[in-house]
Amino acid sequence: MIERHLTRIRARHALSADEEQVVRGLLADTRSVEARRTVIREGERLEASTLLLDGLMCRYKDLRNGQRQVTELHVPGDFADMHSFTLKRLDHNVQTLTDCVIGLVPHERIQRMTETHPRLARLYWFGTNLDAAIHREWEVSLGKRWAAERTAALFCEMHVRLGLVGMADPDGYGFPLTQTELAECLGITPIHLNRTLKELREAGLVEFRSRYVSLLDLPRLRSMADFDENYLYLDPDPL
Amino acid sequence: MIERHLTRIRARHALSADEEQVVRGLLADTRSVEARRTVIREGERLEASTLLLDGLMCRYKDLRNGQRQVTELHVPGDFADMHSFTLKRLDHNVQTLTDCVIGLVPHERIQRMTETHPRLARLYWFGTNLDAAIHREWEVSLGKRWAAERTAALFCEMHVRLGLVGMADPDGYGFPLTQTELAECLGITPIHLNRTLKELREAGLVEFRSRYVSLLDLPRLRSMADFDENYLYLDPDPL
DNA sequence: CGTCAGGTTGACGCGGGTCAAAATGAGTGG
DNA sequence: CCACTCATTTTGACCCGCGTCAACCTGACG
């Protein structure tokens, strides 16, 4: 089950046999969590980081008025909160969107890894910096793109990220979110997202139905989103 | 001049005399850069990280249509791009907003530091995770807050961050941005920002004039922004 | 066949974008 | 000290994207 995590790392960096063993040794425990459970609450003190092995999760922040903004989606192989290793408590919540399998990685094991395997430490540092890059791209979407462009950009991002761990087809992928959840990622109301999806569908760009995203015309979809996958760092320099 | 950087670190973590010497030794060179110069361009290969010693800088991303979104502001003492140590090329640009003094820290020195001083490595990792936390809060602002709330939130954030390095008064701070630049942070047009500033001023909350932010009623300003400074991690756990 | 979550559509209003133009203010040169 | 310039701020008019409120539809499930 940790294979997807190794796949994710290897998509960007080589791993020696020794390093692979250390990575495998990080996992202290795995557990199943059903859909829509908040796994990590803002402010609580954490002693372990959560590795997503299967399913989809998200980071979100609540507002006083009951609304929430999702700040990142997680696909299998992602660490949901490697950053809690240094921060110890988070400024946001982490929730499952679907039924999930998660792995727990005690901070003390990460600590030991940073001391014995500085290159691995650097790879995981890279990983949190990649999260930040995704946050920045979402800032651009939320700040400057119209609803349709924004929606297109997210569909493009998820296609690449799911593809990296072998969970996407060339022209689509399973994506079991409700329209309400998707709208919370995009900073628009579910109603307006529904209209936007209709617009994208009728333009022959993308269709989102029964938990599956069908990419009807990927080149035009990427173009309308002004999608540039460089922010996902698919070809980093070798370390 | 590196004092502000030490102050910034010490605001959150203790530093031993030995560690302080290592931090001081990171700086290979300092230079002056005039206002509105792009110091780091998206995609270029980097061999050193940039430490902001004096002045204001920002990270921004360009869009195809010529618009841009600022994704973070930097105050003196901040690393503008510690994340380039692991990413090697950035997904965004970095620019001076005012005349600045910057310090250059070769990646090889950071590399050596991670091997000899893992605790310092962890502090700098913390620093990049703090940047990500700021990105997340901006995502919330851009996605969910009205223009006035969003503007109030940014004024609150900058008050705290500038205050940490001794550059804010209890009821205001110097903030030499144009309204256009501020609007690029907030994801609204300069014209609408101008109307929003008028609204905040007439409500007796905050005034932004001649490069100075006057906090007329900080409690109400924080309240309207739903400002919760936890995301700035002012009291992290000791490492 | 009833129930309920989630998806869809319509009507209407407001926040904020857009275009145009005037006012203000910091420099600069005469 | 004044005239001129150019960036920046400010205001007005108009319109559209998206929020809001209210129904209605659909499909999964017991």
B220 in reach of chain A (CB within 8 A): no
Whether residue A238 has pLDDT greater than 80: no
The reply to whether A98 and A74 lie within a common domain is yes
Q: What is the pLDDT of residues B82-101, one digit of tens each?
A: 999 999 999 999 999 999 99
Average pLDDT for residues A180-195, to the nearest whole number?
98
User: What is the widest separation between alpha-carbon atoms in chain A?
Assistant: 55
Q: How far is CA B130 from CA A57, B72, B136, B230, B233, in A?
A: 21, 11, 10, 11, 7
- Strand C close to A190 by CB, under 7 A: yes
- Which positions in strand C are less than 7 Å from the protein's CB atoms? 6-11, 15-20, 26
The reply to whether B23 and B122 lie within a common domain is yes
Domain final residue, candidates B116, B138, B160 = B138
Q: Which nucleotide is nearest to A193 (CA to C1')?
A: D18
B142 min Cα distance to partner chain A (Å): 5
**Structural domain tally of chain B?**
2
In a domain, A91, yes or no: yes
A166 phi and psi angles, rounded to 5 deg: 70, 25
In a domain, A18, yes or no: yes
C-alpha to C-alpha distance for B29 and B9, rounded to whole angstroms: 20
- Strand C close to B176 by CB, under 7 A: no
A185-220 burial code (b ≥16 CB/10 A, e <16): bbbbeeeebeebbeebeeeebbbbeeeebebbebee
Contacts of A227 in chain B (CB under 8 A): none
In a domain, B237, yes or no: no
B168 min Cα distance to partner chain A (Å): 24
Whether residue B239 has pLDDT greater than 90: no
Contact B132 A137 (CB under 8 A): no
- Strand C close to B153 by CB, under 7 A: no
Q: What is the pLDDT of residues B74-84, one digit of tens each?
A: 999 999 999 99
The reply to whether B64 and B22 lie within a common domain is yes
Domain encompassing residue B197: 147-232
In a domain, A100, yes or no: yes
pLDDT at B238: 64
- Strand D close to B146 by CB, under 7 A: no
pLDDT at A221: 98
Please, which pLDDT band fits residue A239 given cuts at 50, 70 and 90?
low
The reply to whether A116 and A192 lie within a common domain is no
pLDDT at A235: 86
- Strand C close to B98 by CB, under 7 A: no
Q: Nearest residue to nucleotide D27 when comparing alpha carbons to its C1'?
A: A210
Structure tokens at A225: 């989103």
Tracing tokens 């909350």 back to the chain, one arrives at: B205
pLDDT at B208: 97
The reply to whether B16 and B119 lie within a common domain is yes
The reply to whether B163 and B129 lie within a common domain is no
| CATH code, domain carrying A210 | 1.10.10.10
The reply to whether B185 and B134 lie within a common domain is no
For B28, what's the count of Cα atoms within 13 Å in the CB-facing half-sphere?
11
User: What is the widest separation between alpha-carbon atoms in chain B?
Assistant: 55
Q: What is the pLDDT of residues A133-163, one digit of tens each?
A: 999 999 999 999 999 999 999 999 999 999 9
pLDDT at B1: 85
A69 in reach of chain B (CB within 8 A): yes
| CATH code, domain carrying B54 | 2.60.120.10
Q: Hey, what amino acid is at B19?
A: E
The reply to whether A50 and A151 lie within a common domain is no
